Amino acid sequence: MAQKDVGNKIPIYKLKSTDEVMKYYDEWGNENKYNKDMVDWNYTGPKETVETFVKYEKNKDILIFDAGCGTGLVGLELKKHRFKNFHGADLSQTLLDTVPKNLYQKLQKVDLNQNIECEDNYYDAVMCVGTFTFGHVKPTALDEFIRVTKPGGLICFTINEGIYEQYGFDKKIKMLSIKKWQEIEFYKSDYIASKDVNAWLGLYRVK
């Protein structure tokens, strides 16, 4: 199957290095341009992922880690479903600065390609939407998500279809399924249908 030419539709997908990506976000986050683009593009990733998550998690008091929270789009969806305890982390300070006040109990600048400064089994669940994509976060982050999540907790994420095999997410997920987590749902989501960009949406329970 031919690879979709998504780089011309979403320029950030052409970038390879973290420095290039961060510079792009610094400009994209100014004057609310990022959020406006997400509305214009009908970016459904946060809504679709949270709707999948809430089918299996009914406790509104759990502590959730929103990894790669950006401008807080996942947090807004969680709030709509009456969840109230979540921490956000992102590498772009520009995007973090645009997160609505008091939406998250904690916000921090974090490189998800490095070890997360957090004790084991700390969070009840992890959400990661729009972060596993071109030039962003690598599959090793899944190991950290499992480490910081309590046994029985849920990890819900999207992976841009263009990097699923190219970056080795297919192999990493298969390996983790042997001992580390159990698949609940895994399917192709709409993600950014207006740009013909899809993502795999996964929901796993930590063993």
For 27-49, write each residue's pLDDT tens digit: 888 878 889 988 899 999 999 99
Strand 149-160 relative to strand 85-90, pairing: unpaired
Its pTM surpasses 0.85: yes
Provide the angle, in degrees to the nearest 10, between the axes of the packed helices 45-54 and 73-80.
40
Structural fold of domain 11-31+41-50+62-162+173-190? Rossmann fold (3.40.50)
Residue-wise pLDDT for 124-137, tens only, equals 999 999 999 998 99
Distances (CA, A) of 199 to 34, 132, 160: 19, 9, 4
In this prediction, residues 169-188 reach a mean pLDDT of 98
Strand 106-109 relative to strand 85-90, pairing: parallel
The CA distance from 165 to 183, in Å, is: 18
Q: Domain coordinates of the chain in residue numbers? A: 11-31+41-50+62-162+173-190
In this prediction, residues 67-88 reach a mean pLDDT of 97
Question: Residues of the chain with pLDDT > 90: what percent?
Answer: 79
The structure tokens listed for 187 are 């399917």
Helix (H, G, I), strand (E, B) or coil at 160: strand
* Amino acid in position 10: I
The CA distance from 125 to 200, in Å, is: 19
* Amino acid in position 12: I
187 class by beta-carbon count within 10 Å (0-12 exposed, 13-18 middle, 19+ buried): exposed
Alpha helices in the chain (DSSP H): 18-28, 33-40, 45-54, 73-80, 93-96, 141-148, 169-179
